[in-house]
Amino acid sequence: MSLQLFELKGRRALVTGSSQGIGLALAAGLQAAGAAVVLNGRDDKKLAAAVASFAAPVGVIAFDVTDHQTAREAIDRFETDTGPIDILVNNAGMQFRAPLEDYPADAFERMLRTNISSVFNVGQAVARHMIGRGQGKIINIASVQTALARPSIAPYTATKGAVGNLTKGMATDWARYGLQCNAIAPGYFDTPLNAALVSDETFSAWLEKRTPAGRWGKVEELVGACIFLASDASSFVNGHILYVDGGITASL
């Protein structure tokens, strides 16, 4: 009986930004747990390669998550033509590193749209349908930078702090309608977004000393948290930020 709490068979999950990295790993994990998975992205070639990596069929819904009207129209059309989205994973995001005093204004605005506006745009579009059904799961991908800061990524830190608080706001507004809205906050994971850091021997050595687990995370290690928050096992978990970081936020 307890294992059935984690069963996702019969549910459909949309994962934004799922053509690579964390999004792709989470989509694969949700499918393995029984969910019908729908991938999202803007790069058709990357999406095609991602689809080809799955042994079982997956859906695709290509739209720009940073455009509010486009996101709403795409979600409404999908719900009408294909069926309900039971689980939403807001994963789309970007990184740009530069000293704060030299940070380009256009990069800052682009980061706001990609890391924050996308969560609002897709979250609102999907929630409107979930509210009518009286149930739904929204999982936002935050970061260890939701709680901590490092040099050269102040705007990224600001956006991920906002994702954490928007998650709490979603839960506060939508829990009454039967939705559970939570966030996963990854620590340092070996992903394309972190490729420059992974290849930096000095940084990797610092990270291994700074992290109690003593290593980079593997994207597959985020899957369990996602399945938990997507399933009935988390039916009374709302507005929570689940840090999956090897202990880095617990230690000085």
* Residues that are catalytic: 156
Residue 90 CA to residue 81 CA, distance in Å, equals: 22
Output the six-digit token pair for 15.
């994962």
Query: Mapped to the 3 state alphabet, what secondary structure does the chain carry?
Result: CCHHHHCCCCCEEEECCCCCHHHHHHHHHHHHCCCEEEECCCCHHHHHHHHHCCCCCCEECCCCCCCHHHHHHHHHHHHHHCCCCCEEEECCCCCCCCCHHHCCHHHHHHHHHHHHHHHHHHHHHHHHHHHHHCCEEEEEECCHHHCCCCCCCHHHHHHHHHHHHHHHHHHHHHHHHCEEEEEEEECCECCHHHHHHHCCHHHHHHHHHHCCCCCCECHHHHHHHHHHHHCHHHCCCCCCEEEECCCHHHCC
Query: Would you state the torsion angle of the CA atoms of residues 93, 97, 103, 105, taken in this order, to the nearest 10 degrees?
Result: -20
